[in-house]
Amino acid sequence: MIGRYGQILKYVPVLAPQNITSTATGTNAVKLGGCHRLTYEVQFGSVTATSTDQNVVITVLASSVATTNTGTAIAFNYRVSGAVGTDTWGAITAATASGASIAPATANNALVLIDIDPAVALNGPTSLDGAYTELVITPDAGATATNVSVVAHIEPRYIQTSPVSAS
């Protein structure tokens, strides 16, 4: 039996599972050079807040450097899963540079997929070798728990046994 083992898609953990409570937290940056498509998988665990209107906001930053929490916020598309154990998804939604604002009840134990087109991440740079993106997850100050992890799913331009580094 032959497995793919990350040869067709590259999986890079960019935020280890943790409870960020109400602290804005950035992921590690992903280098877009050699990247055909990039999808961030944001896996929420328990998400609770003192009020139902205290949302979690996810923004995407694009930058020419790999430094955390730097860069320009960009627009993106995202999709939120249904409840755990179901095969349901919400509509693909366009988020502005201000980010996607997700209610605690919606984020609780949900998966959020964020799609990035490297060609437009930095308004069409002449070279993607220096382009990076990262997520910033910002719970409302009233959050009592925000358990989250993030994995980058990278579709490389050229499939390889030993892919080029994404950092």
In a domain, 55, yes or no: yes
- Per-residue pLDDT of 8-21, as tens digits, reads 788 899 999 999 99
In a domain, 161, yes or no: no
d(CA 48, CA 106): 10
pLDDT number for residue 1: 44
pLDDT number for residue 125: 47
In a domain, 5, yes or no: no
- Per-residue pLDDT of 150-159, as tens digits, reads 999 998 877 6
Q: How many domains does the chain have?
A: 1
- Find the domain containing 48 and state its range: 10-156
In a domain, 1, yes or no: no
- For residue 75, pLDDT over 50 is answered with yes
Lookup: tokens for 50 = 């003192």
Cα R_g (the chain), whole angstroms: 16
Residue pair 59/98 in contact (Cβ under 8 Å)? The answer is yes
In a domain, 92, yes or no: yes
Residues in Cβ contact with 77 at an 8 Å cutoff, skipping those fewer than 6 apart:
92, 93, 94, 95, 114, 115
Alpha-carbon torsion, ordered 120, 93, 134, 143, to 10 deg: 160
What does the mean pLDDT of the chain come to?
A: 86
Nearest to 151 by CA among 58, 28, 37, 64: 28
- CATH number reported for the structural domain that contains residue 132 in this entry: 2.60.120
Buried (b) or exposed (e) across 11-32, using 16+ Cβ within 10 A? ebebbeeeebebeebbbbbbbb
pLDDT number for residue 101: 97
In a domain, 4, yes or no: no
Where residue 49 falls among pLDDT bands split at 50, 70, 90? Answer: very high
In a domain, 166, yes or no: no
Q: From the CB of residue 86, how many other CB atoms can be counted at a distance below 10 Å?
A: 8
